[in-house]
Amino acid sequence: MEVVKADSTEEDEEEYELVLCGTRLRRVRKRKPRPEEQLPKGCLPEEKVSLAEALARIDPSHLAAFLADAPEYPPGFVVFDLVDYFSSAISGVSSVEYQYPWPNMNNLRRVIDLPFRHVPEPVFTVAEDWIEKVELKEVSNFVLWSFGWIRDRVAGIPTEPYSELGVFVALSIVLRGRSFVLSPILPLLRQRYYCLERAQKMIPFTVWMMAQVAQVDLWAGLQSWASNLLPLVRVNLKDNPRSINFILQLIENVCSEPGARESILEDVDEDWRLFPILSFKMLLPLTFPAPFERVNVTKRFEAVYPLLKEVALADADAAGIEGLKRVTQIFDFCLKFAREGNAVLAKEAASIANWCVTKNTQDTERFDAFYPLLKEVALYHAPGVEEMIQITPHIFASSFKFAAEGNAELAKEATEIAVWCLTKNVDCCKHWDEVYMENPKASVALLKHLVDEWDEDHSLKLSSSPRDTRILNLTMKSFLVKNKRGITEGGVSGFLYKEANKYCKEISRRLVVSRGNGFLKGCGAISSVILAAVAQVVVYVDAITTVLMSFTFLCLFLFLLLDSYVEGLKVIL
């Protein structure tokens, strides 16, 4: 610790004192309190006056004259006039119920207006008008001093002899009357000197401070929460549930305010960071943990996430070139999350990464490098069956258009994705049939890809069920009719229809072969079941009736398989 030394006299000792500023002691001029005759008269303890009654006795005109007649103070002491005034006005009021830590710190709504709810509107208006004229640095210094003063009292460290209740009244008025004052000091409150990770008892007080601001300015409240409180959640998630609950109550209050979304998004400014990139990075795993890592607060994060995501992305997109850098930062950590084994987080990260690509189309080198991963996350980590049925037709329609592009690489990639859609949802054939003749070049590309890759992957997926095989077969029949019409009409596309005709016949033939193999496998399976049934008859004579019923069902199933096989032969003939 560095001590600033200076020669001093007895007169100096009376006017100066050493004050701890961070890790340094500085010699500053002492602040002389205002004469008692200028201060309002307090209450006697035997009067048993409540805080509301004591504050109601304040004459707004007297407060205005007191503040207007303030002497010239050394830097850092201007706002202390408010502390002196309110401390004197409420002297004699029992402050036990207002002493920090408060007894009701599990419920933010009970303490959010404490003690401000008792300040009369005319008194607040006078104080607010005066605070607006004070330099921002003076107001910021007072807020920082208040934080340090309360922290020292909680820790049992000797402090200046101010009334705690008076400090709270003045601080609540300052934060509500000059809400923007909190933004410049948020980085200071994150420094080691004010480290909240080591001063857990100060977390509720910090939430209270930010709640004062949020009551009059949702933008400033959200910014302070995202910058300083959200990082604490990650650190204290398991060890300090009471503080986490208090922190979450603040953002829940902000998000639930009527018109919160419109109000916050209107105030997004390219010159001010509303939602830091690192905070958004922390928010994603907290909202989308792996299933085995879900905790009680996960649902609460899920409830506020949509608005916070919208604000974070709008914030990143608000500022020209600087905004592109922010978008790139989001893109990078989203792709990192997409690589992790948490499928829920990967899905959301891929969605945000896709958004980033639409906002920063100039960064082609970065996108090319990560495209395979992005494709894997977007397609192969897709949602369940019902969602798959809904999204694949849209993906197929877009990919089908690109499959005929002059860009060979784009066409190849689009063809692969379109075929992937067919293997995931054979009902995409319906859309394909509708646009088949509108884009014969794309159709030929898809048919050729199906034939070339049939043995490797597609045969199992497209002929795994009788329904899928039947739909694809009917589609090929429809294509053969359209090919014949296209060949007859001639024109520049005539040769494409001839190519398509060849592939359609080949796919139909392979479908029949696949169904024939399925028939043989089915016969083998039936034989095994029949043998097992006979064995059961030998061992369990009492179950003979059940076995006979099973045998009858199996015979019926065999008949259906034979009928299906005959239908397949008719397609080729």
Encode pLDDT of 308-327 as tens digits.
999 999 888 766 677 788 88
Other C-beta atoms lying within 10 Å of the C-beta of residue 291: 8
Give yes or no: residues 56 and 157 share one domain: yes
User: Looking at residue 453, what is its pLDDT?
Assistant: 85
What number is the average pLDDT over the span 421-446?
Answer: 91
Helix (H) or strand (E) holding 31: none
Task: Average the pLDDT over each of 16-25, 141-150, 341-350, 462-471 and give the range with the smallest value.
Answer: 16-25
User: Looking at residue 370, what is its pLDDT?
Assistant: 61
**Residue 309 Cα to chain centre, angstroms:** 5
Give yes or no: residues 554 and 408 share one domain: yes
Q: Cα-atom radius of gyration of the chain, to the nearest Å?
A: 37
Helix (H) or strand (E) holding 26: strand 24-29
Inter-residue contact 173 to 127 (CB < 8 Å): yes
Cis peptide before 115 (omega within 30 of 0): yes
What number is the average pLDDT over the span 359-388?
Answer: 65
Of 267 and 81, the one with more pLDDT: 81
Class of residue 210 by CB neighbours under 10 A (exposed 0-12, middle 13-18, buried 19+): buried
What number is the average pLDDT over the span 387-408?
Answer: 83
Question: Does residue 524 register a pLDDT over 60?
Answer: no
Contacts of 438 (CB under 8 A, 6+ apart): none
* CA distances for 277 relative to 248, 266, 312, angstroms: 19, 19, 8
Strands 2-3 and 16-21, sheet pairing: unpaired
Helix (H) or strand (E) holding 241: helix 241-256
Candidates 220, 153, 235; CA nearest to 185 is 220
What number is the average pLDDT over the span 286-297?
Answer: 91
User: Looking at residue 214, what is its pLDDT?
Assistant: 96
Candidates 175, 153, 19; CA nearest to 82 is 175
Give yes or no: residues 445 and 418 share one domain: yes
Other C-beta atoms lying within 10 Å of the C-beta of residue 549: 10
Question: Does residue 522 register a pLDDT over 50?
Answer: no
User: Looking at residue 315, what is its pLDDT?
Assistant: 84
Mean pLDDT of all residues in the chain?
A: 79
Give yes or no: residues 4 and 133 share one domain: no
Global pTM reads 0.69
Question: Does residue 14 register a pLDDT over 50?
Answer: yes
pLDDT tier, 287 (very low <50, low <70, confident <90, very high otherwise)? very high
Strands 24-29 and 2-3, sheet pairing: parallel
User: Looking at residue 76, what is its pLDDT?
Assistant: 72
Question: Does residue 39 register a pLDDT over 80?
Answer: yes
Domain boundary pick from 144, 177, 210:
177
Distance (Å, rounded) from C-alpha 113 to C-alpha 139? 20
Contacts of 539 (CB under 8 A, 6+ apart): none
What number is the average pLDDT over the span 469-482?
Answer: 93
AA letter at 368: D
User: Looking at residue 149, what is its pLDDT?
Assistant: 93
- Greatest CA separation for the chain: 118
Class of residue 428 by CB neighbours under 10 A (exposed 0-12, middle 13-18, buried 19+): buried
- Residues in the chain, how many? 573
Give yes or no: residues 9 and 147 share one domain: no
User: Looking at residue 445, what is its pLDDT?
Assistant: 92
Structural domain harbouring 10: 1-30
User: Looking at residue 316, what is its pLDDT?
Assistant: 82
Contacts of 300 (CB under 8 A, 6+ apart): 248, 252
Question: Does residue 28 register a pLDDT over 60?
Answer: no
User: Looking at residue 411, what is its pLDDT?
Assistant: 87
Contacts of 536 (CB under 8 A, 6+ apart): 543, 547
pLDDT tier, 190 (very low <50, low <70, confident <90, very high otherwise)? confident
Distance (Å, rounded) from C-alpha 204 to C-alpha 150? 12
Of 106 and 124, the one with more pLDDT: 124
Question: Does residue 82 register a pLDDT over 50?
Answer: yes
Class of residue 505 by CB neighbours under 10 A (exposed 0-12, middle 13-18, buried 19+): middle
User: Looking at residue 559, what is its pLDDT?
Assistant: 40
Phi, psi of 23 (to 5 degrees): -110, 15
Using alpha carbons only, what angle is made at residue 135 by residues 130 and 141, rounded to the nearest 5 degrees? 105
Domain boundary pick from 150, 177, 204:
177
Inter-residue contact 486 to 497 (CB < 8 Å): yes
Strand partners, 20: 25
- Whether residue 434 is contained in a domain is answered as yes
Phi, psi of 198 (to 5 degrees): -100, -10
Tokens 């979304």, residue located: 261
Class of residue 504 by CB neighbours under 10 A (exposed 0-12, middle 13-18, buried 19+): buried
pLDDT tier, 178 (very low <50, low <70, confident <90, very high otherwise)? very high
Give yes or no: residues 1 and 72 share one domain: no
Give yes or no: residues 2 and 81 share one domain: no
AA letter at 460: L
pLDDT tier, 550 (very low <50, low <70, confident <90, very high otherwise)? very low
User: Looking at residue 193, what is its pLDDT?
Assistant: 62
Q: How far apart are the first and last CA of the chain?
A: 96
Other C-beta atoms lying within 10 Å of the C-beta of residue 570: 8
Q: Which two tokens stand for residue 442?
A: 């794309």
- Whether residue 417 is contained in a domain is answered as yes
Give yes or no: residues 405 and 513 share one domain: yes
- Whether residue 61 is contained in a domain is answered as yes
3-state secondary structure of 166: helix
Question: Does residue 94 register a pLDDT over 90?
Answer: no
Question: Does residue 9 register a pLDDT over 50?
Answer: no
Distance (Å, rounded) from C-alpha 206 to C-alpha 499? 72
Tokens 């502390």, residue located: 83
Give yes or no: residues 436 and 566 share one domain: yes
Question: Does residue 35 register a pLDDT over 90?
Answer: no
- Whether residue 259 is contained in a domain is answered as no
- Whether residue 333 is contained in a domain is answered as no
- Whether residue 215 is contained in a domain is answered as no
Instruction: Order the strands of the 2-3 sheet from edge to edge.
Output: 2-3, 24-29, 16-21
Domain boundary pick from 123, 152, 177:
177
Give yes or no: residues 100 and 85 share one domain: yes
CA dihedral 545, 551, 554, 560 (to 10 degrees): -100
Give yes or no: residues 132 and 17 share one domain: no
Give yes or no: residues 457 and 558 share one domain: yes
Question: Does residue 336 register a pLDDT over 80?
Answer: yes
DSSP letter at 378 equals I
- Whether residue 248 is contained in a domain is answered as no
What number is the average pLDDT over the span 114-123?
Answer: 95
Domain count across the chain: 3
- Whether residue 364 is contained in a domain is answered as no
Question: Does residue 270 register a pLDDT over 90?
Answer: no
